[in-house]
Amino acid sequence: MSEQKQKQWQCQMPNCGYIYDPERGCKKNKVEKGCSFEDLPENYKCPLCGAGKKQFKACNWD
């Protein structure tokens, strides 16, 4: 198989749906490209709605 793709995580807050993509990182939170969701700081917040990490769910497990 080819290289493993890092999981994307989606914010579960109603009307949000922001997806954290490790290949993009998160400029607003000063997260560099390639940082997996698991490695984000505990105080990471959704750049759109401000929800914490616990509100995110992995969206591509396969």
When binding is defined by CB under 5 A, the residue of 16, 21, 25, 29 that contacts Zn ion is 16
Q: How far is the CB of 46 from Zn ion (least distance, A)?
A: 3
26: left (phi over 0), alpha (psi -120 to 50) or beta: beta
Q: Which of 24, 37, 49, 53 binds Zn ion (CB under 5 A)?
A: 49
Q: Are 8 and 60 in contact (CB under 8 A)?
A: yes
- Which single residue is written with the structure tokens 């080819």? 2
- Is 43 in a helix, a strand, or coil? coil
Q: Does 53 bind Zn ion (CB under 5 A)?
A: no
Q: Which residues bind Zn ion (CB under 5 A)?
A: 11, 13, 16, 18, 46, 48-49, 51
